[in-house]
Amino acid sequence: MADAEFRWRVPVDHPAFAGHFPGRPIVPGVVLLDHAVWLAQTALGYAMGACHITQAKFLSPCGPGDELMFTFRRSPSGVWSFTVRCGERDVAAGSLAAPTA
């Protein structure tokens, strides 16, 4: 069971498409990670200032106008894992954590 789910439709005019890639625009992985961190910070209230991405995998491309589902699960240790899906297809997965002292 997910702790939280968020939908995001990739804007067809996102500035990353200008160079990634001409003729076949795809969402760069850094945009997916940025959106996952933004959701964790704003929607989940997770303080990301001191946190880092501990793992990230990019599984399949997505492009302009695609509707993505970001799903977050929090472990007992406080680490947030996330998945990104486009319909039935896995797009990316990863985890966000606070650094250990």
| Residue 24, Ramachandran bin (φ over 0: left; ψ between -120 and 50: alpha; else beta) | beta
Helix, strand or coil for residue 82?
strand
Say whether 20 is catalytic: yes
Selecting among 14, 20, 35, 52, the annotated active-site residue is 20
Number of H helices, E strands in the chain: 1, 5
Catalytic positions, please? 20
